[in-house]
Amino acid sequence: MTKDEFWEGVRGGFPIMLAASPFGALFGALAVDNGFTIADAVFMSATVYAGASQMVGIELFGNHVQPWLVVLSVFAVNFRHVLYSASIAKYVRHFTFGQKFLAFFLLVDPQYAETEKRGERGLPISFSWYLGFGLVIYIPWIINTLVGAIFGQMIGDPKAIGLDVLLPVYFMGLVMGFRKRDRFLPIVTVSALASVAGMHFVGSPWHVSIGALAGIVLAACLPPSGTAAAPTGVEKEA
Amino acid sequence: MDPQHLNLIYLIIAAAVATFLTRVGGYILITQMKQIPPRLEAALNAVPAAVLTTLVAPAFVYGGLDVTIAMFVAFAIALGLNLSTLRMLVIGWVVVMLIRHVVM
């Protein structure tokens, strides 16, 4: 553990924590609205720790959907994490077993994006940095859920204070961060069209899996580009 | 604790386990492989943009005209001036609030 790297991670995660805070509070408020107690809402944020899927979960629970279908939907919305953990495997191989356990528990979208970005720049991915970045988002997420659940009434209409626009703009910023990658435009175009079509014909939350799969399959099927970097298989660091 | 509330606790625990499995599954799968085929690697490289786009595009199309305009303005300014995500968030929020409370 080095303190400097831990605090570097904390500083890096701080703006993301700010951006995620309204959603933690919003989740708390919506969860109570859907029949959760305050303790249930905090428990879910502390154990599931995956914002979009938590929203889907409480929505389905509030509509009395079968429990197995709620869990399946949470799994589907979070399925992208399988790809995240595969993709950052090369950067976290040096973590101990316990460190990996904790690291994967904390693997939310921005944690993945920053780890990937940092690794791509050639900066070291130390456990101290990873933990600092993760905890500065995780702990406030739980506190904000608690605050939101308690003061749920005060949020009233989330649209009146413009909360609904923050999540899509935030994810749009993350997408733009990857614009220098190979075949960025075709992948984003196909995923956008497929997710909108999925939303229209199948419905939420399936548009996430449908859109993601379309872009990923396209990337796998396009002929390999001449400028491809040297393989970065995990076996090389073994 | 009444049985119905206990069922909710079990549901949350099941959702947490399912989520953790997705977060550790990819690592376990990929470290079992001897070598990563190039097409799999291309697919993995496409993951972040492909997934995150699905959280953006439907909101842009179905989020309402105010959200669409706010997203477009935030996108155009952030791209033009190379702004951070946080500044982009502020722009999007300001535009949507202007439309909702000043223009309309």
Q: Are residues A128 and A58 in the same domain?
A: yes
Q: Are residues A51 and A144 in the same domain?
A: yes
Closest CA to A148 of A21, A62, A18: A21
Q: Are residues A145 and A195 in the same domain?
A: no
Q: Are residues A194 and A107 in the same domain?
A: no
Over chain B, what is the mean pLDDT? 89
Q: Which residues of A, range 139-198, sit inside 8 Å of B by Cβ?
A: 159-162, 164-178, 181-184, 187-188, 190-196, 198
Helices then strands, counting H and E runs in chain B, come out as 4, 0
The predicted pLDDT at position A228 comes to 44
CB contact under 8 A, A231 and B41: yes
Position A56 in a domain: yes
Over chain A, what is the mean pLDDT? 85
Closest CA to A20 of B16, B100, B86, B55: B86
Higher local confidence (pLDDT), A212 or B74: B74
- Give how many domains chain A has, as a whole number: 2
**Nearest chain B CA: its distance from A130 CA (Å):** 15
Model confidence at A231, pLDDT cuts 50, 70, 90, reads very low
pLDDT digits (tens, 9 = 90+) for A165-174: 877 887 788 7
Position A117 in a domain: yes
pLDDT digits (tens, 9 = 90+) for A7-25: 999 999 998 898 888 889 8
Model confidence at A30, pLDDT cuts 50, 70, 90, reads confident
Task: Classify burial at B46, counting beta carbons within 10 Å of its beta carbon; exposed 0-12, middle 13-18, buried 19 or more.
Answer: buried
Who's near B86: CB < 8 A, 6+ residues apart? A15, A18, A19
Closest CA to A169 of B75, B95, B99: B75
C-alpha Rg value of chain B to the nearest Å: 21
Q: Are residues A46 and A136 in the same domain?
A: yes
A53 vs A192: CA distance, rounded Å: 20
Write down which residue in A163, A197, A213 finishes a domain: A163
CB contact under 8 A, B89 and A177: no
Which ipTM did the prediction report?
0.75
CB contacts of B25 in chain A (<8 Å) are 81-82, 85
CB contacts of B75 in chain A (<8 Å) are 172, 176
Q: Are residues A80 and A145 in the same domain?
A: yes
Q: Are residues A158 and A185 in the same domain?
A: no
State the residue for tokens 């309402």: B64
Tell me how crowded residue A200 is: count the other CB atoms within 10 A of its CB: 12
> How much is the average pLDDT of B30-57?
81
Q: Are residues A95 and A200 in the same domain?
A: no
pLDDT digits (tens, 9 = 90+) for B11-40: 999 999 999 999 999 999 888 876 778 888
Q: Are residues A29 and A114 in the same domain?
A: yes
A111 vs A84: CA distance, rounded Å: 10
Position A129 in a domain: yes
Position A57 in a domain: yes
Q: Are residues A157 and A183 in the same domain?
A: no
User: What residues make up the domain containing A192?
Assistant: 179-238
Closest CA to B38 of A237, A224, A213: A224
Write down which residue in A163, A195, A225 finishes a domain: A163
Closest CA to A91 of A106, A73, A103, A105: A103
Position A7 in a domain: yes
